[in-house]
Amino acid sequence: MTQSNLPKIWTVEIEDDQKFRAFYRSLKPIEQATLMAGLQEVLPRLGMNICSTEWGKALGGSLYEFRIRRSLDAIYREFVSEEAAHSTPNHLRGREVSLRVFCTFEGNKIALVLDGYDKQKNPNAKTQNRMITKARTSLASHKAEQKQQLRQKKSDGSASVSASKRQRKKRR
Q: Tell me what the mean pLDDT of segment 147-172 comes to.
A: 63
Report how far Cα 103 is from the mean position of its chain's Cα atoms. Answer: 5
pLDDT in tens, 93-122: 888 999 999 999 998 899 999 999 999 999
Q: Tell me what the mean pLDDT of segment 81-92 comes to.
A: 82
The residue ranges of DSSP E strands in 107-159, in sequence order, are 110-118
State whether the Cα torsion 149-151-152-153 is positive or negative.
positive
Out of 62-71, 85-94, 122-131, which region has the weakest mean confidence (pLDDT)? 85-94
